């Protein structure tokens, strides 16, 4: 047989070529698992049943090109599979390092997030509102109140026909009220005033008509306990007087054009005659407008 490296004749018993130093490859194929000789063209080992790979048909050692003899020194042949083992170790080491780095990064991010949250005992500033220690807001910030309608006393004038009354001229109607009453509210929709002794009061207002005369009358009666000593109910108005103890409550409402025009009068029973006349004068001035 001849050396596959340089072609020089060699003996089958020799392990290396005497001319170039290359390993002598045997022509016999052996099983890589059990070492038994394989039959030519075999797909599985006849001894152990291991599949025959391409490497089985080649030499256990790499070709002579892998060796460079140095002045008669015969290097140990390198076995196949060493590179795969080294690569596996590198991959495992890389995976372990990646897991460690990931764990450190997660811990770092957790500490940052934890430090950003103020403790319960820390004072903190939120939306420019500072809360003291262990204190937190219980309500939403209070919005500015809407400025109510201002009293417009220009809507009040002397009543030329009778000096005992003043004339209130609202946005939708006019009405008389006692001249000696003190006005507490006066705008385009409502007038409120009280007698000098505080025992009588008047409230005049206009609003959307709502459910109608009968329903509004029933609601008024249910809201005031006492005995009804006068009432009158029509399709577009109602009047009622209710006595409760030593006081009277009177209400008149007129329904017109989708609005309800109302005035109420609270007064002591001991002054019934005087205030009953005033109520009739207020009623007469109001109804002539409709």
Integer Cα distance of 142 and 269 in angstroms: 44
Output the pLDDT for position 66.
45
Residue among 280, 231, 283, 287 at smallest CA distance from 256: 287
Nearest to 72 by CA among 17, 11, 25: 17
pLDDT number for residue 181: 94
The tokens of 20 are what?
């170039």
Any bridge partners for residue 174, and if so which?
Answer: 169
Structure tokens at 196: 């000098």
Instruction: Give the chain's radius of gyration (CA, Å).
Output: 57
Question: Residue 53's pLDDT is what?
Answer: 63
Please tell me the predicted confidence (pLDDT) of residue 268: 96
Cα 273–chain centre separation = 64
Task: Give all domains of the chain, ordered by start, each with its CATH number.
Answer: 153-287 (3.40.1000.10)
Q: Give mean pLDDT in consecutive 10-residue pieces for the chain, a chain of 290 residues.
A: 81 80 71 75 79 52 45 48 73 88 81 55 41 40 38 74 90 90 87 94 90 92 93 95 96 93 95 94 89
**What pLDDT shows up at residue 28?**
61
Residue 153: per-residue pLDDT: 60
pLDDT of residue 26: 62
Instruction: Tell whether pTM > 0.75.
Output: no
Q: Quick one: pLDDT at residue 27? A: 56
pLDDT, residue 82, reads 56
For the chain, the maximum distance between any two Cα atoms, rounded to a whole number of angstroms, is 154
How many whole angstroms separate alpha carbon 241 and alpha carbon 176?
19
How remote is the C-alpha of 39 from its chain's centroid? 78
pLDDT of residue 289: 85
In three-state form (DSSP H/G/I as H, E/B as E, the rest C), the secondary structure along the chain is CECCCCCCECCCCCCECCCCCCECCCCCCECCCCCCECCCCCCECCCCCCECCHHHHCCCECCHHHCCCECCECCCCCECCHHHHHHHHHHHHHHHHHHHHHHHHHHHHHHHHHHHCCCCCCCEEECCEEECCCCCCCCCCCCCCCCCCCCCHHHEEECCCCCCEEEEECCCCEEEEECCCEEEEECCCEEEEECCCCCCEEEEEEEECCCCHHHHHHHHHHHCCCEEEEEEECCCEEEEEEEECCEEEEEEEEEECCEEEEEEEEEEHHHHHHHHHHHHHHHHHHHCCC
Structure tokens at 99: 């897991």
- Residue 104 sits at φ, ψ, to 5 deg, of -65, -40
């Amino acid at each position: 047989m001849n050396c596959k490296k340089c072609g020089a004749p060699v003996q089958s018993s020799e392990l290396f070529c005497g001319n170039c130093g290359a390993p002598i490859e045997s022509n016999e194929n052996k099983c890589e698992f059990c070492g038994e000789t394989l039959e030519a063209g075999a797909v599985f080992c006849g001894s152990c049943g291991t599949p025959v790979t391409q490497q089985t048909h080649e030499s256990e050692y790499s070709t002579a090109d892998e060796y460079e003899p140095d002045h008669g020194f015969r290097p140990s042949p390198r076995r196949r599979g060493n590179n795969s083992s080294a690569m596996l170790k590198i991959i495992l080491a890389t995976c372990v390092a990646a897991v460690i780095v990931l764990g450190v990064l997660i811990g770092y991010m957790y500490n940052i997030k934890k430090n950003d949250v103020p403790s319960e005992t820390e004072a903190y500033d939120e939306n420019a509102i500072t809360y003291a220690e262990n204190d937190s807001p219980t309500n939403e910030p209070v919005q500015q109140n809407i400025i109510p309608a201002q009293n417009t006393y220009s809507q009040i004038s002397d009543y030329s026909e009778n000096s005992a009354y003043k004339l209130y001229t609202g946005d939708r109607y006019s009405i008389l009220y006692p001249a000696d009453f003190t006005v507490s509210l006066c705008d385009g929709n409502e007038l409120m005033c009280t007698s000098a002794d505080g025992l009588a009061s008047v409230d005049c207002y206009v609003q959307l008509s709502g459910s109608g005369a009968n329903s509004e009358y029933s609601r008024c009666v249910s809201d005031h306990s006492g005995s009804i000593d006068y009432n009158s109910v029509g399709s577009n108005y109602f009047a009622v007087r209710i006595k409760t103890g030593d006081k009277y409550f009177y209400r008149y409402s007129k329904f017109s054009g989708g609005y309800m025009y109302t005035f109420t009068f609270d007064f002591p029973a001991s002054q019934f005659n005087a205030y009953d006349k005033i109520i009739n004068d207020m009623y007469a001035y109001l109804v002539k407008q409709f």
